[in-house]
Amino acid sequence: MRRIRIAPSILSADFAVLGTELASIASADWVHVDVMDGRFVPNITIGPLVVEAVRRSTPLPMDVHLMIVEPERYVQDFARAGAATIGVHVETCPHLHRTITQIREAGARASVVLNPSTPASAVEPVLGDVDQVLVMTVNPGFGGQKFIASMLGKIETLRRWIDERGLDVALEVDGGIGPETIALTARAGADVFVAGNAVFGARDRGEAIAALRRAANLQGAAEAR
Ligand code: DX5
Ligand code: ZN
């Protein structure tokens, strides 16, 4: 059975009490941090300063998702701020292999991210050089959007390539993930699940994380039978 990881996205947290919000998700595996620049995506969120504050507020590894143009200009800053994983969109990286190398040399795990309209084949040449592939299941920019079901085929394709080649690459999904869609994406082959609203919209975050974990694991167990 694949190891399931739950990564709540602080985009849906209350930034006025970020420390308390982070304490409420202590049972999660990672914390997902959405960085937006108002250019690659319409929204503007946070920078290295807040990432550094998050690092001081939680022992959870930080999964930093860069939705910014020219991400290579900021890789070093986010690594220094404490990112365990740095994700860059392939749509923003004409020299993707170089940027992946840069992330690893900075001491972080390298993740490559695909917009819904970008095919799996866009990461195929670098699959052996990354630690993670993130399949966006909404168009990036905002929390609380509807899951795009046609992404399931892309997840299946990537899972097949990873397994056939015996690669140690995590397969993450992000956008519209809740108890139902986590089961669908787990069945398709994902093993890391970002959830914003499904966690921070719940009164009991621990219970919300446990429910997501159960739904993902049930799927995995069904698979193993
Ligand atoms: C969307 C972000 C997501 C977002 C997910 O651009 O990358 O991480 O916070 O939020 P939900 O789970 O509410 O769709
Ligand atoms: Zn994200």
Strands 170-174 and 5-8: unpaired
Task: Note whether 144 and 12 are within 8 A (CB).
Answer: yes
Q: Amino acid identity of 9?
A: S
Ligand 1: distance of its center to the CA of 225 in Å?
32
Query: Does the predicted model carry a pTM greater than 0.85?
Result: yes
Question: What residue owns the CA closest to ligand 1's atom 9?
Answer: 143
Tell me what pLDDT residue 219 has: 74
Catalytic residue among 63, 131, 174, 191: 174
CA of 139, closest atom in ligand 1? 6
What phi, psi does 63 have (nearest 5°)?
Answer: -105, 100
Q: What is the pLDDT of residues 99-137, one digit of tens each?
A: 999 999 999 999 999 999 999 999 999 999 999 999 999
Pocket test for ligand 1, best of 11, 172, 200 (most atoms within 8 A of CB): 11
| Ligand 1 atom showing the smallest separation from residue 177 Cα | 12
34 classed as catalytic: yes
The answer to whether 63 and 32 have CB atoms below 8 angstroms apart is yes
Give the chain's mean pLDDT: 96
What would the mean pLDDT of 173-187 be, rounded to a whole number? Answer: 98
Burial class (CB in 10 A: 0-12, 13-18, 19+), 123: buried
Ligand 2 centroid distance, CA of 111 (Å):
12
Identify which ligand lies nearest to the alpha carbon of 10.
Answer: 1
Q: Confidence class of residue 223 from pLDDT cuts 50, 70 and 90? A: low
pLDDT confidence band for 2 (50 / 70 / 90): confident
Query: For residue 222, how far is its CA from the centre of ligand 2 (angstroms)?
Result: 28
174 as an active site residue: the answer is: yes
Provide residues with CB under 6 Å of ligand 1: 9, 11-12, 32, 34, 65, 138, 140-145, 174-177, 194-198
* Residues, Cβ < 5 Å to ion ligand 2: 34, 65, 174
Share of the chain above pLDDT 90, in %: 96
DSSP state of 45: -
